Structure 1
Amino acid sequence: MAAVTPVEYVLRIDAFTPDTMPMARLAEYLGALARLLGHAEHTHFVRLEEGSAKLVHRVDAVDAPKVETRLNGVLVGNAPKEALNAQKAIEQLLVNDNAVATLCEVSSGRVVIPFEGRNRPKPMVFPPFREDTTIDGQIVSIGGRDPSAHAVLQDGDAFHTNIQMKREVARELAPLLYGPMVRLHGNGRFERQLDGVWKMLDFRVDRFEVLDNRPIAEALAAVRGVRDNRLMDAEAYHDISRLQDQGDGDQ
């Protein structure tokens, strides 16, 4: 097996030269680069080369294979979260500086990670819009001194905030605080985030209903009491069996 030797990488940024790069900006790039590489005790900044700003850094032999694996993971999107966040931070710095960059292996010239920077496709921008919808969860906060009341709804690990309603509706909901699951009917305002995810900015409650929290077995027993319920149809039977298995697993 060939001996592992230290490996040098260079981050080439086309918008700067060593004379034009501000010291504070250099520190930001180096900080993000350190998080990208990881293994801080064995990565070292070596020099800033002439031409386009070239940030040369060395990885000690002991961690060179680990850093190479980490950078390959960044390229395909399965690296540790810290490394992927560092990649995004470098991309954002480049966008702000109207620059593009490449991370290359010095000895071979191989491009390890290309950074799009200013060439990154611009995200599609949609104006916020309102739509009638419903949200489910448990009331974990309700009240307020405004003419309209406000609430927070918890659905598992997710929390719906900026929920508004008339005080009359709030009085009816108040006894359900930390109680059963409820479904709020109303109108929400939605906005598309830069990552493509739609976020609900606010929600205006018109009415609500308390959801049936009975165990699956009890609910099925009630349905069986309904004439012509068709529970034994093949497709329905399969779905019900799966639900019962899940319900048994939760006990």
Structure 2
Amino acid sequence: MSEFFEYPFRIIGPTPDTIPMSRLATYVAELARLMGSQDAVHFSRIEDKSVSIVAFASLEEVPLISPRIRSAASGDVNADAAAPWRKLNEFLAEDGWTAEMPLPNSGEVIAFPGKSKTVAILRAVSQPTSVQGRLIRIEGGGEQVRVGLEIDGDLTARISIGSQLAQDLAKHFHRSVRMSGEGRWRREGDGRWNLEHLAATSFEVLEDATLDEALARLREIVPPGSGEEIVRAVDELRSA
């Protein structure tokens, strides 16, 4: 017999006595879409004190469900669960609530922040964009393939590229590359700009030179005695 694990979706704010049944149903429906594996995920109960919608799934489904939720929570706009993730947070924002979901067997708690009604996204723009990092992931079987770059020790996976170009890119796995294309940027209420997605149309392989190699090459390029002049020129540009 299969072992089952619970996924409690705790809505912080209402109680079972105050949340309308129709509103509760919208949360349950969107939660099912977020978790996926809809034939294998089942409703268990509503817990008291706060509104905790408890769903459960078999042990075999946990390796599919938990990464799916984690990927959406990380902001991956290409994740299969990205749309229901946004929808649940929109519901929470409309109601003035937040939520959380402990993932089984991990000790990890996924936060659903909703959105403050007074802090809205101010602006979204698309413009030519380039990012660079170490190529560590290529996945997908459609016309567009998802790419993951390691940038400053973190994985950035909000990049897609055409499948034909991806075949050439795969030859440079674990190399440093620069990917360029049309980037979609969004400005948050606190003024930060976030890259939501980069539809890359080209890439460039970068040389993986050590610092000593780079300095040796710089010495070959810069004439002897000209270092002070370069520093002075840079200072003048900064103060201009």
Higher CA-based Rg: 1
Query: Which TM-score tier does this pair reach, normalised by the shorter chain?
Result: 0.3 to 0.5
Normalised by the length of structure 1, the TM-score is 0.45
